Structure 1
Amino acid sequence: MRDTVTPTHCPYCALQCGMNLTPAPDGRAVEVSERVDFPVNRGALCGKGRTAPAVLSSSVRLTSPLVRSEGGALVPASWEEALARVAEGLGRTRAEYGADAVGVFGGGGLTNEKAYSLGKFARVVLGTSQIDYNGRFCMSSAAAAGGRAFGLDRGLPFPLEDIPRTGCVILVGSNPAETMPPSLRYFTELRENGGTLIVVDPRRTKTAEQADLHLAPRPGTDLALALGLLHLIVAEGRTDEAYIRERTSGWEETRAAAMAHWPEYVERITGVPVPELREVVRMFCEPEAAMVLTARGPEQQSKGTDTVGAWINLCLATGRAGRPLSGYGCLTGQGNGQGGREHGQKADQLPGYRKLTDPVARAHVAEVWGVDPDSLPGPGRSAYELLDALGTDIRSLLLMGSNPVVSAPRAAHVEERIRSLDFLAVCDVVLSETAVLADVVLPVTQWAEETGTTTNLEGRVLLRRRAITPPEGVRSDLEVMHELAARLGGGRNLEKGFPTDPEEVFEELRRASAGGPADYSGITYRRLAEENGVFWPCPADGPPAAGGTGTGPRSVGGGGHAARGAAELDDPTRAGGTGRLDTADGAPAPGVHPGTPRLFHDRFATEDGRARFAPVSHRAVAEEPDDEYPVLLTTGRVVAQYQSGAQTRRVDELNAAAPGPFVELHPRLAERLGAAEGEPVAVVSRRGRAVAPARITTAIRPDTVFMPFHWAGEGRANTLTNPALDPVSRMPEFKACAVRLEAVEAGRPAPSSP
């Protein structure tokens, strides 16, 4: 048993780092070792990946269903009793108030198979439109902006291996040194190869310390910053007019909007000096190739879609999209944040990244599911809107793999809404802060105990393999949906449509996604077991692997190779071995699509093949500082914790490195407040109050404070955050809200200005 090595992937961030697992003698635990053959991390792992097996321990995870007793406590129960209670709770609500009174909330950590089944379960078994997931809080603004500009959203339209070979990268609102440490090597190699790195962040993070240039704009002003840079690009004659003419539309309106944002005006808004703006333009425009990469900083804003669109405009205006070693990309955060939104657990989507409002898409998916297209409900509420409706329009909730009591904006209000539900069922691996409030908690399998696929930030579909047997008393989410479908089907044998074998689910997902923007139909478990992932789109009826130009109306990738440019990009087998399936003699297997590591080199995925500029203008954050709340709060992560911390806070090594929340503030602000290093500071917004120790540093702007969002209790950062929503993506404004600071001892307010 000790000699059995299972190659698989980390359960945490969207890098989905490769790792090897070796079972311990008892068969219930595993040891992690390097997996150097996987091209994304090349053996490197962060502390979270190395310690991931700790959460497999029965001492920290759930191993029995729990039900709410008459006395109000959660007590162990049999699976039969727990499932019966869930079916009764959901069914009673549906019967009394209608299908849309039942909500479903998923997670960006669910495998593709689970996400697909959850969307199907909501729409076919429950008949509800009220389904969304916590990935809405991750990169929905980038997805909306990418779809608007390119006709297709995939986090990175190129593999990570392209980053070190470009000339310049502008990294906006991202701190990979702490959020996905193994990826930092790509930016280090970029600089070693003579390229330059520009980091845009109001804090001087560990990533910013390694940059050639660090811009520290005021939180919420990234849109103005991008517009000011585009103004200078136009004014200095650095646009690629031939590219704009041949491959884009909407330039005239976009140029006019940018010219209204002259450098001095942008400096007043952002705090970034004009000379630094000019230096960014020079560094970005002089190399032959360049990239812009965004993350949560510009995306988690009430204008996040327009903000990302403005950064995409820089790429389009300079001819830096759809060309070798150039383009715009988003650094997805959650482990399956990409795949999780492609296959139906999002309020407005069907599998294959199809639109729920598209009659053709509805007919295709309904045929796969064996139902009438008219029986499928329409789009429902977005994530925060769904949570805000709990206890009123939505009376019961089934929640899988999420912890909104910690992770949602205006978290105290969300907690109140959850408490007001008639019925709550939670499927999770640990007793999270949200699970504690449930009527029924179902213990489910996790990464090393189950097989399934995920899709990383590159659009690379991967196979996670089962390495150990789960504890007795634990079942998979697929089994849960199978059993609930049987109980809620009303005699319709719906459980047959919800198999428990993940490969069987994936085979159905392939059919459902076929012909859609995220086409997985040419991907099989066998391919994933033999290759280091396969990039979508990958149709089943694709061209021979040695050539071809894509997949019908989605001809966006040139068969996985560049249509022109660097010779090393012409081989579709690059990007870590993903490419053609070879026959025994090494010849390409005829008719097998190689997958698409690089998108848009032939055309964009719009109807006319042209990318679309976004004519946008600066607007303020939803909540500007004032005399009562004079400081801006921004939130983020630390390297040793992950998301709501439900799992990582149960790992001793990680807690030793990051034991609790803190408030990061500038020395000038600390002096005015009378705060000292390590002493508690209260941060107060219009939504509530959080208290945490002060961390005083010159690495943050004097008008801004920072809090990590991994903890519950009095240090819960999301007690403070603003649920103001982007009108397109419905992303809440996590990254900027007005607060005041108070010295905890005396309760006296901070000065009216920083």
Structure 2
Amino acid sequence: MTLTEPEPRTAVATHCPYCALQCGMSLTAGEGAEVEVAPRQFPTNAGGLCQKGWTSGSLLTSPARLTTPLIRLDGELRPASWDAALGLIAGKLAEIQARHGKDAVAVFGGGGLTNEKSYLLGKFARVALGTSQVDYNGRFCMSSAAAAGNRAFGLDRGLPFPLTDLADADVVLLVGANPAETMPPLVKHLERAKSLGGLIVADPRRTPTAEQANLHLTPSPGKDLALALGILHALVAESGVDQPYMDERTRGFSAVWRIASRWWPERAERVTGVSAADQRTVAAKLANARNAYILTARGAEQHATGADTVSAWINLALALGLPGKPGSGFGCLTGQGNGQGGREHGQKADQLPGYRKIDDPAAREHVARVWGVDPAEIPGPGRSAYELLDALGTADGPRALLVFGSNPVVSAPHSAHIADRLSTVEFLGCADLVLSETSALADVVLPVTQWAEEDGTMTNLEGRVLLRKRALDPPPGVRTDLDVLAGLATRLGQPAERFPTDAETVFDELRAASKGGLADYSGISYDRLRAGEALYWPVPEATHPGTPRMFLDRFAHPDGKARFVPVEHSGPAEPPDTEFPLQATTGRVLQHYQSGAQTRLVDELTEAVPEAFVEVHPDTAARAGLADGDWARIASRRGETVARVRCVPSMGIDLVFLPFHFPGAQRANLFTNPALDPTSRMPEFKVCAVKLSIVDGA
């Protein structure tokens, strides 16, 4: 008897579906077999993966996957055909717009969608629906950093240099960043700075990243701007500024110094809690470094003053002469998988493809020409993410909502209020992988493909465009988001050729629409990406090598100079008081991602962190009658959540921390503050006033 050798299974090179590090991995799948994940060598992860990456294949075969459209009948979601589901959505949207106007229908996207989906979603909203009401969950993630980068540099690219440049740094200052949990492979790029005593972390908590730091600064939540002013004052007082750089490459320092001159380190110490000595140490380390970087993340940005806070750190970086200097720089660590590309190509309320402004007549004319429409037909700016959700069902707000790649019932601030707004709309449609907390409320749910089941491009935190290749077939009955948008568009009267379903065809149109814009992808092609070229935007021509390091010669303002932006400290929108004496901050844990809709379905991850917890100082817990392992109620003026107590001696006496990945009564966003940054429209996720108490009967 001759045994037949099994056919070898082919490994497909791809990228992780989670954070913006976009770690390189290989997927191997066979008939009826589990999908095997293996790390591969790629610059951002250098052969490493975090626990989420290692387990990412399990969701592809999860029994929780949606595989058929669902329509709500008699209060229950029931299986339906694609034709019935798409027809119902298109009919409802057309009917609502006929009664209430074009802006009665809104679209809400996500920072995990591919560039092709982001582009076509924005086009669908503005052309097929004719609505201005389109935004995305990246408004909750990178909008403050984007606003500050645009003000200072004339352009926003999270990291304007390759991540691997950090490996040669003498000093790295991380502000509100915890990559040891949020993107662990990044930490290996910080080893040299740490070995030289130059890894500095500013964070109210002693996070796993702070544990590795040579110097941990612990500013009170919402006080980062004052800390930046104190360090800048120390830098100037000790003659640490790079005056030739400022004279040649910047404008506006005098206005910034008029504010910073009043923020001597001792004053900043009284406000922030960070010692004046430590502020002067940081200033000296940065000034004396051969290569130095300042990097911000959500801890600095998710505030009602987030754009100004990032501007304060950019001001410090400019005074040091870091941006645009080879081997040094300023950057922001993008969170979501396509958080960079997702904000460049039109799913944001005020933007058109190529990072163009929607109220710019030349931008409207260029994009309209690519789309084959009259520029006057493109709507103007719409509401930002929270404002859009808050307006649902109101007299002048949207009466219907389509959601792609987002779960605002868990991820939006004041989430019980947002869930209530969703309940008031005449129609809610969702395209989703699984029945998330938001899609469970929908009138129609459409099952769509996952990352490994489709082709598409992502733009990682460095601005590098990556081709994520299809590795396996989707389950029967599942379609891509591009198919969904095309199916809806044609039912709404659009010509089929205006909404292609092939990812490469959509990308070629995106290239044309982005040409000449700040985020110019016109020289990038699938063929170049398949050939392995490392292409960082802008890439304005087919022969252009890309731009891995930006601002080496000039910044993106017309005169080529960066702008100092004068900003003043004002503190949190909601300080603690006698009724709510504690400050709450939220964030991620290593095992979960965003709203947790995907990672909570992975057994290994839920076994590691199965429920919400609240980190609190033992003395603070004791004063509330709580001990380690008890269930606590954390309440603010907006709502309350419950979580398991973790007593952590390193926590500030007036500070509590909760992860935001959990649903239901454990949603951290039940109590978070929707106060918005006036520039970026970012909600103040990172700090609000709360009180702690025992859960009755627990």
Q: Structure 2 length normalisation: TM-score?
A: 0.98
Instruction: Tell me the residue number matched to 1:199.
Output: 201
5+ residue gaps, structure 1: 542-591, 748-754
Shift of 1:532: 5.2
Q: How do 1:67-78 and structure 2 match up within 5 A?
A: 67-69=71-73, 71-78=74-81
Equivalent in the alignment of 1:273: 275
The yes-or-no answer on 1:303 pairing with 2:319 is no
Q: How far has the Cα of 1:289 moved from its partner?
A: 2.1
Which of 27, 33, 37 is matched with 2:38 structurally?
Answer: 33
Q: Distance in 1 between matches of 2:202 and 2:483?
A: 45
Letter in 2 for 1:248: T
Instruction: Work out whether residues 286 and 320 of structure 2, in 8 Å CA contact, stay in contact via their aligned partners in 1.
Output: no
Q: Secondary structure of 1:691's partner?
A: strand
- Report SS of the residue matched to 1:643: coil
- Corresponding residue for 2:155? 152
What is the alpha-carbon distance in structure 1 between the residues aligned to residue 197 and residue 581 of structure 2?
Answer: 39
Corresponding residue for residue 26 of structure 2: 20
**1:529 aligned partner:** 530
1:416-455 mapped onto 2 (5 Å cutoff): 416-455=420-459
Q: Distance in 1 between matches of 2:327 and 2:623?
A: 48
The C-alpha deviation readout for 1:606-642, integer Å capped at 9, x for no partner, is: 1100000011111021101011111100000000000
Q: Which residue of 1 aligns with 2:635?
A: 684
Aligned residues of 2:9 and 2:30 also touching (Cα < 8 A) = no
Distance 1:495 1:115 in 2: 18
Q: Summarize deviations over 1:198-222 as a string: whole Å, max 9, x none.
A: 0000000110011010001100000
1:187 aligns with 2:190: yes
1:289 maps to 291
User: 1:678, 1:24 → 2: CA distance?
Assistant: 43
Where 2:359 maps in the other structure, the secondary structure is: coil
Q: What amino acid maps onto 1:674 in structure 2?
A: G
In the alignment, what sits opposite 1:87? 90
Aligned-partner residue type, residue 52 of structure 2: K
Q: Distance in 2 between matches of 1:233 and 1:667?
A: 37
Aligned partner of residue 13 in structure 2, secondary structure: strand
Q: Does 1:143 align with 2:128?
A: no
Structure 2 residue 572 is matched with structure 1 residue 621: yes
Which amino acid letter does the alignment assign opposite residue 236 of structure 1?
E
Q: Is residue 406 of structure 2 the alignment partner of residue 402 of structure 1? A: yes
Which 4+ runs in 1 deviate beyond 3 A?
A: none
State how far apart, in whole Å, the 1-side matches of 2:618 and 2:496 are: 61
The answer (yes or no) to whether the contact 1:229–1:277 under 8 Å persists in 2 is: yes
**Aligned counterpart, 2:540:** 539
Partner AA of 1:679 in structure 2:
D
Q: Counterpart of 1:519?
A: 520
Q: Distance in 2 between matches of 1:533 and 1:637?
A: 30
2:111 aligned residue (108, 113, 125): 108
Measured in 1, the distance between the counterparts of 2:121 and 2:515 equals: 19
Whichever residue aligns with residue 214 of structure 1, its letter is: H
Aligned counterpart for 2:481 among listed residues 459, 477, 481: 477
| 1:742 equivalent in structure 2 | 693
- Which letter does structure 2 place at the counterpart of 1:423? F
1:640 aligns with 2:617: no
Q: 1:64 is paired with a residue of what secondary structure?
A: coil
Q: Name the CA distance, whole Å, in 2 between partners of 1:274 and 1:44.
A: 38
Q: Deviations over 1:461-520 (max 9, x none)?
A: 00000011101110000001111111112xxx4321110100000000000001100000
Contact 2:582 2:655 in 1 (8 A): yes
Q: Which amino acid aligns with 1:137?
A: F
Task: Report the more deviating stretch, 301-310 or 48-57.
Answer: 48-57
The 3 A distance-change label for structure 1 pair 2 and 132 is: farther
Matches within 5 A, 1:57-72: 57-69=61-73, 71-72=74-75
Measured in 2, the distance between the counterparts of 1:55 and 1:505 equals: 27
Whether the 8 Å CA contact 1:536–1:596 is kept in 2: the answer is yes
Q: Identify the residue that residue 586 of structure 1 maps to in structure 2.
A: none
Q: Is the 8 A contact 2:625 2:693 kept in 1?
A: no
CA distance in 1, matches of 2:343, 2:664: 30
8 Å contact from structure 2 (residues 392, 399) kept in 1: yes
Residue 133 of structure 1 corresponds to 136
RMSD, aligned CA: 1.1
Residue number in structure 1 paired with 2:4: none
The 8 Å contact of residues 170 and 192 in structure 2, kept in 1 or not, is answered as: no
AA of the residue aligned to 2:400: S
Equivalent AA in structure 2 for residue 511 of structure 1: A
Q: 1:707 aligns to what? A: 658
**Residue-by-residue CA offset, 1:47-93 (whole Å, 9 max, x unaligned):** 11111111111512100000001x20000000011001110111111
Match of 1:729 in 2: 680
Question: Does structure 2 conserve the Cα–Cα contact (< 8 Å) formed by 1:104 and 1:398?
Answer: yes
Match of 2:216 in 1: 214
SS for the counterpart of 1:67 is: strand
What secondary structure does 1:694 align onto?
A: strand
Give the Cα–Cα distance (whole angstroms) in 2 for the partners of residues 735 and 225 of structure 1: 16
Shift of 1:224: 0.4
Q: 1:258 aligns with which of 257, 260, 282?
A: 260
State how 1:235-634 maps to structure 2 within 5 Å. Answer: 235-392=237-394, 393-489=397-493, 493-531=494-532, 533-540=534-541, 592-634=543-585
Report the Cα distance in structure 1 between the residues aligned to 2:154 and 2:695, rounded to whole angstroms. 51
Normalising by structure 1, report the TM-score: 0.90
- In the alignment, is the contact (CA less than 8 A) between 1:665 and 1:697 conserved in 2? yes
Please say if residues 151 and 604 of structure 1, whose CA atoms lie closer than 8 Å, have aligned partners that are also in contact. Answer: yes
Q: Is the 8 A contact 1:300 1:732 kept in 2?
A: yes
Per the alignment, residue 3 of structure 2 pairs with none
CA contact (8 A) 1:2 1:22 kept: no
The Cα shift of 1:189 comes to 3.7
- Given residue 650 of structure 1, which amino acid in structure 2 is its aligned partner? L
Cα distance in 1 for residues equivalent to 2:62 and 2:54? 18
Paired-residue identity, %: 62
Whether contact under 8 Å (1:462, 1:532) holds in the other structure is no
In structure 2, how many angstroms separate the alpha carbons of the residues matched to 1:476 and 1:190? 43
**CA distance 1:2–1:686, shift in 2 (3 Å):** farther
Query: SS of the residue aligned with 1:678?
Result: coil
Question: 2:293 touches 2:330 (CA, 8 Å); kept in 1?
Answer: yes
Corresponding residue number in structure 1 for 2:669:
718
Question: In structure 1, which of residues 641, 646, 649 is the aligned counterpart of residue 600 of structure 2?
Answer: 649
Q: Any gaps of 5 or more consecutive residues in structure 2?
A: 1-6
**Equivalent in the alignment of 1:232:** 234
- Give, in whole Å, the separation in 2 of the partners of 1:702 and 1:188: 32
CA distance in 1, matches of 2:318, 2:103: 42
Residue 554 of structure 1 corresponds to none
Give 1:674 deviation, angstroms.
1.9
The letter of the residue matching 1:496 is: E
Give the drift of 1:261.
1.2
Deviation at 1:26, TM superposition (A): 2.5
8 Å contact from structure 1 (residues 164, 195) kept in 2: no
Which whole-Å CA distance do the structure 2 matches of 1:238 and 1:283 have between them?
Answer: 10
Secondary structure at the counterpart of residue 207 of structure 1? helix
